[in-house]
Amino acid sequence: MGQTLTEKILDDHLVEGDLQPGEEIGIEIDQTLSQDTTGTMVWLQFEALEMDEVQTELAAQYCDHQTYQFDFKNTDDHRFLRSAAGTYGAYFSRPGNGICHNVHKENFAAPGKTLLGSDSHTPTPGGLGQLAIGAGGIDIAVAMGGGAYYVEMPEVVNVRLEGELPEWATAKDVILELLRRLSVKGGVGKVLEYTGPGVESLSVPERTTITNMGTELGATSSIFPTDDRTEDWLARFDREDEFVDLQADADAEYADEIVVDLSDLEPLIAEPSMPDNVVPVREVAGQEVEQVMVGSCTNGAYEDVLPAAKMLEGREVSKHTEMIVAPGSKQASEMLAREGWTAEMMAAGVNFSEATCGACIGIGHVPASDSVSLRTFNRNFEGRSGIEDDSVYLCSPEVATASAIAGEIVDPRDLSDDLGDLEAPGFEMGTSYSGGYGAGDTDIITPEESIDDDLIKGPNISSVPVKDPLGADVRGETLLKMQDNITTDHIIPATSDILKFRSNIERLSEFTLSRIDDTFAERAKAADSGVLVAGENYGQGSSREHAAMCPMFLGVESVLAQSFARIHKANLFNFGILPLNIDEETYARIEQGDDVEVVDDVAAAVADGQEEFTVRVNDDWEATATLDASERERRTLAAGGKLSLTKQRHSEG
Site residues, ligand F3S (CB under 6 A): 65, 99, 101, 119, 121, 296-297, 357, 360-361, 378
**CB nearer to ligand F3S: pick between 10 and 135:** 135
Residue 297 or residue 474: which is nearer to ligand F3S going by CB? 297
Contact 57, 30 (CB under 8 A): yes
Shortest distance in whole angstroms from residue 350 CB to ligand F3S: 19
Beta strand pairing call for 530-534 and 474-481: parallel
* Rounded least distance, CB 261 to ligand F3S, Å: 28
Which of 535, 574, 529 has its CA nearest to residue 556?
529
- How many C-beta atoms lie closer than 10 Å to residue 65's C-beta? 23
CB nearer to ligand F3S: pick between 380 and 509:
380
d(CA 107, CA 441): 10
Identify the H or E element spanning 636.
Answer: helix 631-639
Looking at the DSSP assignment, which residues form a beta bridge with residue 135? Answer: none
Nearer to ligand F3S, 4 or 37 (CB): 37
- How far CA 337 is from CA of 101, 126, 249, 433, in Å, comes to 21, 28, 43, 13
Can you tell me the distance from the alpha carbon of 175 to that of 209, in angstroms, rounded to the nearest whole number?
A: 8
CA distance 108 to 338: 24
E strand or H helix that includes residue 230:
helix 228-236
Taking the alpha carbons at both ends of the chain, their separation in whole angstroms is 37
**Residue placing its CB nearer to ligand F3S in the complex, 296 or 380:** 296
Cis peptide bond prior to 273, omega within 30° of 0: yes
Return the exposure string of 567-602: e unless at least 16 CB atoms fall within 10 Å of the residue's CB, then b.
bbbbbbbbbbbbbbbbeeebbeebeeebebbbebeb
Nearer to ligand F3S, 361 or 498 (CB): 361
DSSP state of 325: E
CA angle 5, 8, 10 (to 5 degrees): 110
Q: How far is the CB of 559 from ligand F3S (least distance, A)?
A: 32
- What type of residue is 152? E
Name 94's Cβ contacts closer than 8 Å, sequence gap at least 6: 63, 78, 82, 443, 444, 445
Helix (H, G, I), strand (E, B) or coil at 151: strand
Q: Toward ligand F3S, which CB reaches closer, 364 or 555?
A: 364
Task: Determine the Cα angle at 208 with ends 206 and 212, to 5°.
Answer: 130
CA atoms within 13 A on the CB side of 247: 10
Question: Least Å distance between CB 98 and ligand F3S?
Answer: 10
Phi-psi region of 446 (alpha: psi -120 to 50; beta: other; left: phi over 0): beta
**Closest of 526, 622, 542 to residue 582, by C-alpha:** 622
The distance of closest approach from Cβ of residue 293 to ligand F3S in the complex, given in angstroms and rounded to an integer, is 11
Cα–Cα separations (whole angstroms), residue 331 to 177, 302, 351, 444? 30, 8, 18, 11
Shortest Å, Cβ 343 to ligand F3S = 25
Smallest distance from the beta carbon of 303 to ligand F3S, in angstroms? 17
Q: How far apart are CA 90 and CA 599, in angstroms?
A: 46
| CA–CA separation, 555 and 576 (whole Å) | 11
Taking the complex as a whole, the smallest distance from the CB of residue 215 to ligand F3S amounts, in Å, to 8
Our CB check for ligand F3S shows the closer of 17 and 327 to be 327
Output 33 or 51, the one with its CB closest to ligand F3S. Answer: 33
Q: Do the beta carbons of residue 172 and residue 209 sit within 8 Å? A: yes
- Cβ proximity to ligand F3S: between 38 and 195 the closer is 38
Q: Residues 188, 179, 169, CA angle at the centre, nearest 5°?
A: 145
Q: How far is the CB of 297 from ligand F3S (least distance, A)?
A: 3
Least gap, CB of 377 to ligand F3S (angstroms): 6
Closest approach of ligand F3S to the CB of residue 137, in Å: 15
Report the nearest approach of ligand F3S to the CB of residue 327 (Å): 11
Least Å distance, CB 358 to ligand F3S, is 8
Give the residue with the Cβ less far from ligand F3S, 277 or 296: 296
In angstroms, give the least distance from the CB of 132 to ligand F3S. 13
Q: How far is it, in rounded angstroms, from Cα 502 to Cα 546? A: 8
Provide the minimum distance between the beta carbon of 393 and ligand F3S in the complex, in angstroms, as a whole number. Answer: 16
Q: What is the DSSP pairing of strand 621-626 with strand 612-617? A: antiparallel
Q: Provide, rounded to whole angstroms, the least separation between the CB of residue 65 and ligand F3S.
A: 6
- Nearest partner of 491 among 520, 531, 462, 523, judged by Cα: 520
Nearer to ligand F3S, 105 or 647 (CB): 105
Pick 358 or 535: Cβ nearer ligand F3S: 358
Residue 123 or 225 with smaller CB distance to ligand F3S: 123
Q: Please identify, using beta-carbon distances, which residue of 386 and 469 lies nearer to ligand F3S.
A: 386
- Considering the complex, state which of residue 98 and residue 530 has its C-beta at the smaller distance from ligand F3S: 98
